[in-house]
Chain A
Amino acid sequence: MRHIIIKTGLIFGLVAVCFFPIRIMAGSINSPQAAEASCNFEGQFKELASTQESNNFDYLASLMAELRIRKNLLRGVLDCSIAEAESLRASLAALKPNAPDMEFLRNRFYERIGETKDYYQVQQSRINDLGIQGTKDVAKNIKEWRLNQYASLVDGSTQLIIWTKNQELFQAAQKRFHDIEQTVRFFNLVDNTEMKELLTKAAESLYKAQSANEAAKEALKRFDASENSLGLIKDSLEALSETYQIFFDLSKAINPHP
């Protein structure tokens, strides 16, 4: 339950990160603000609470008011859920997977999340005929469906989005290493002990990062527990970050007075 609550914000956060300038994502993506606009329930819950607490002597009118508010809330929640799913689909659609197997995985997540829209629409079609208890039962069922069915799709999609975005960083690092190597050779510094050590360290660090990246990919394809996949993704990024530290050291060693 907690991780679904968190994921809603993360999905909007991920879409926001889509606009990061280093070509991580391209193309038009639904504005997170638009999605969030339909998801403000505070006012309606306050109204519901007020209706339930009011000392209205007309009990039937009170019940009718409560039912109306509940139905509107349920419609709003379902609209918001559909927007959330669309937002996630948009993030998936904008990905540029660098391999057929990851493209396959992206497409399947995209399709499955599309199917969740059908589920929500079926629930929406039932709302008109519901009584108060009916609205409670439907809300409970949707909540449990999201926990048991939807959560795993969100988890997998989120991890895939993060992993795919990382591939540009790996390509940039690979190119950077190649360019630095050429520079070292150009200035005849290959036999310099410090250079040799730094280059070796950089190569080892980059290899470590790429190995973890590859392991993360396989963990994603196996649908490993998210702590495993994300742990590997984290390891790969941290190793990449260490590689860049070495690049900085190389830069200072080659050109101490930039």
Chain B
Amino acid sequence: MDLIKLLQKLKAIKADPDYARMSRDQLLGLSNERTGLFRATWQFILHSLQFGSALALATILIMLIVGGFAAWKSVSHVKLGSLNLSSLQVEAEAIDVQIQLTNIVYNQPEGLETTQQTAITPKILKAKEQTKSMSLKPVSSSSAPTITIDEALDRLSE
């Protein structure tokens, strides 16, 4: 496809209509006075924050109310099991593994050209497996490719 036509696809970008309306109302609801407009800008931002906080409080209240009602109904089933430390630990560690994985994807290091990077990635997961005694399927570093597909293509194109 023609490059210019590709770029012109970006013309389809549009602001959210509710945001545009809110922004316009804030701008035009005031006089052309410095203090009024600065106040308006802060109000614009604070309005957004307040909505989030009100929603948080409402959710907490609803959760506590519903939780209380459910407790009356099922009081006989409540056990200290909900506070079982080892099961809490397992769940917490599952979250840590996901954070590690996300960090690996998120924090791609700069300047690392070679196969070492692909060999490092399974090693990190394997190290995690060893320290946390989880039964991840081991990915041995010896089976990890030492020349990646893209490096191979690079060398073949020379």
Interface residues of A (CB under 8 A from B): 1-6, 8-10, 12-14, 16-22, 24, 32-33, 36-37, 39-42, 45, 70, 73-74, 76-77, 80-81, 84, 135-137, 139-140, 142-143, 146-147, 158-159, 162, 165-166, 169, 172-173, 176-183, 185-186, 190, 199-200, 203-204, 207, 211, 226-227, 230-231, 233-234, 237-238, 240-241, 244-245, 247-248, 250-251, 254-255, 258
Contact = CB atoms under 8 A, between A and B. Distances in A.
Name the residue among B74, B92, B104, B105 with the largest chain A CB count within 10 angstroms. Answer: B105
A146 B94 contact: no
Given A20-B97, A139-B154, A250-B83, 17 more contacts: A5-B150, A9-B121, A22-B94, A77-B156, A81-B149, A178-B67, A180-B82, A182-B67, A183-B83, A185-B71, A186-B71, A186-B75, A190-B68, A207-B60, A251-B83, A251-B85, A254-B80
B127 interface: no
Given A70-B156, A241-B96, A255-B80, A5 B64 contact: no
A40 B145 CA distance: 6
Interface of B: 52, 56, 59-60, 63-64, 67-68, 70-71, 74-75, 78-83, 85, 88, 90-92, 94-99, 101-106, 108, 110, 112-113, 117-122, 125, 134-140, 143-158
Pairs A-B, 10 closest by C-beta atoms: A9-B118, A179-B82, A139-B156, A140-B157, A143-B153, A186-B78, A19-B137, A139-B157, A9-B121, A251-B83
Nearest to B53: A204
Contact of A244 (B70, B91, B125, B147): B91
Given A21-B135, A240-B95, A182 B121 contact: no
Contacts of B52: 211
B82 A182 contact: yes
B153 A77 contact: yes
A70 B100 CA distance: 38
Given A2-B112, A185-B67, A244-B95, A36 B145 contact: yes
15 contacts: A5-B117, A8-B148, A10-B105, A42-B146, A70-B156, A74-B156, A77-B156, A147-B150, A172-B94, A179-B81, A180-B82, A180-B83, A182-B74, A183-B83, A203-B64
A101 to B, nearest CB: 18
B99 A42 contact: no
A12 B137 CA distance: 11
Contacts of B79: 183
- Secondary structure of the A contact surface, majority rule: helix
A16 B143 contact: no
B139 A13 contact: yes
Contacts, number: 231
Contact of B146 (A20, A40, A159, A227): A40
Given A10-B105, A36-B143, A81-B149, A182 B136 contact: no
